[in-house]
Amino acid sequence: MAFDFLVPVEDKVLAHCEFLPAQAIGKNTYIHTAKDGLPVIANATVALFGVRESRNAFEKKLEKLDVSGIRIQLYKLMFGNWNSTVVDLGDLEEGDSVDDTYFVVKEITAALLEENIIPIIIGATQDITYPVYRAFDGIKDMINLVAIDSRFDFGMDDELISSHSYMSKIITDKPNNLFNFSNIGYQGYFNAQEEVDLMERLFFDAYRLGEIANDLSLAEPVLRNANIVSLDVRAIKASEIATSANFSPNGFTGREICAIARYAGISDKVSVFGLFEMENNVQSQQLLAQIIWYFIEGVNYRVAETPYSKTDDFTKYTVPTDTEELVFYKSLLTQRWWTEVPSIFSSHTKLDTPALLPCTEQDYLDACNQNIPERWFKAYKKSFN
């Protein structure tokens, strides 16, 4: 059983827990301890575990990831008005080889997915996204992956998998279950033009840092369609993390990244949330803990809704344009928007039923002005490739 490879939460974290108030997360989490073993996961909402594998880091790590430091900061935060059951499964140490670690990450993630439990993975390096993606094999056919990252992480063709090139492995590896990849927060000067061209050629979605920072709500429909959300903490500006040369002066602020994490939590499609590439200092650990808090907060406000299930809860808008007739839906409950995209037949739609693509009100307004939204056009083109 893959869970047997998880080591218990360190005693120093449990000792810290003893002094926390009853309302703290640490007092309301079922924790893997050396004394009591693994917690029962049957009715868990989210399951936290650390992955200390870093051998495929692009910039070699000088020290092991201090997951315990993140736990101490997370446990002291207050448990919200939540119905969630939170479990902490402990940590996965390095296997004999990196592939061994990948295999166990894949097996643990798949086991949690089978139980409809959302894994929150704290990983040393972002290449752990690859085995997380492979965990969906046999569970779900087509996967939407969203990376919150300053880079696209395609790497060079001949480069071995690393934290800067794992996306190439995901795109080329068989079976190919990747339906769409979206990047939130890329910074132009970190990405070769060939990578930008590849994103365009594959009809993937990319949103510049400035574009999202100017209007955070643009991230919501992207995350609403995601199955996996992979956060490279280096997308956050260095001053927010108080640390090293591997971070950029430009990036998301703490407030912005917490808002994005909440959007990810609210999405009822997001099945895995991974946080990678953090540093071992108190400010970084505090911010990571708050990002996780906002994700769990979002999970508690999930509303499972689709325009095809309860038509009374939606307003339908039909917009004729010069080339297409676009159909939009607005939820009367959450004010969220969708648009129909013909010719995409996905596993969750009935035969001959157009797929529903999450969108914004601005997309609807653009269509009213005879401008077909770019996200609609890309999804439409993808269906013919």
Q: Which residue has the higher pLDDT, 97 or 78?
A: 78
- pLDDT range class, residue 382, cuts 50, 70, 90: confident
Dmax over Cα atoms in the chain, in whole Å? 68
SS3 of residue 211 by DSSP: helix
- pLDDT range class, residue 273, cuts 50, 70, 90: very high
Task: Reply yes or no on whether the pLDDT at 328 is more than 70.
Answer: yes
- The pTM for the full model equals 0.93
Placement of tokens 């990319």 in the chain:
206
Contact 153, 125 (CB under 8 A): no
Contact 28, 79 (CB under 8 A): yes
Contact 152, 206 (CB under 8 A): yes
353 exposed, middle or buried (CB, 10 Å; 0-12, 13-18, 19+)? middle
Averaged pLDDT, 359-374? 94
pLDDT digits (tens, 9 = 90+) for 294-321: 999 999 999 988 887 767 899 999 999 8
- pLDDT range class, residue 351, cuts 50, 70, 90: very low
Averaged pLDDT, 8-18? 96
pLDDT digits (tens, 9 = 90+) for 103-161: 999 999 999 999 999 999 999 999 999 999 999 999 998 999 999 999 998 876 555 55
Alpha-carbon distance of 20 to 374, in angstroms, equals 49
Averaged pLDDT, 63-84? 95
> Picking from 56-65, 186-195, 239-248, which range would have the lowest pLDDT averaged per residue?
56-65
Task: Reply yes or no on whether the pLDDT at 9 is more than 70.
Answer: yes
Whole-number pLDDT of residue 221: 96
Which among 351, 352, 356 is positioned nearest to 340, based on CA atoms? 356
Percent of the chain with pLDDT over 90: 72
Alpha-carbon distance of 299 to 295, in angstroms, equals 6
> Picking from 147-151, 256-260, 276-280, 379-383, which range would have the lowest pLDDT averaged per residue?
379-383
Contact 191, 204 (CB under 8 A): no
Domains of the chain: 2-299 (3.40.800.10), 311-382 (no CATH)
Backbone angles phi, psi at 169, to 5 degrees: -65, -45
Four-residue CA torsion sign, 216, 289, 183, 250: positive
Whole-number pLDDT of residue 353: 61
Q: In what helix (H) or strand (E) does residue 84 lie, and over which residues does it extend?
A: none
DSSP per position, 217-267: GGHHHHHHT-SEEEEEGGGB-HHHHT--TTS-SSSB-HHHHHHHHHHHHH-
Is the link from the previous residue into 131 a cis peptide, with omega within 30 of 0? no
- pLDDT range class, residue 56, cuts 50, 70, 90: confident
Task: Reply yes or no on whether the pLDDT at 346 is more than 70.
Answer: no
Average pLDDT, the chain: 90
Q: Quick one: residue 334, left, alpha or beta (phi over 0 = left, psi -120 to 50 = alpha)?
A: alpha
- pLDDT range class, residue 347, cuts 50, 70, 90: very low
Percent of the chain with pLDDT over 70: 92
Kindly provide the residue ranges of all beta strands, DSSP E only, lying in the chain, ordered along the sequence. 6-7, 29-31, 46-51, 86-92, 118-123, 143-148, 178-186, 205-208, 228-232, 272-276, 314-320, 325-331, 337-341, 355-359
Task: Reply yes or no on whether the pLDDT at 54 is more than 50.
Answer: yes
Point out which residues pair with 180 in neighbouring strands: 144
Whole-number pLDDT of residue 349: 42
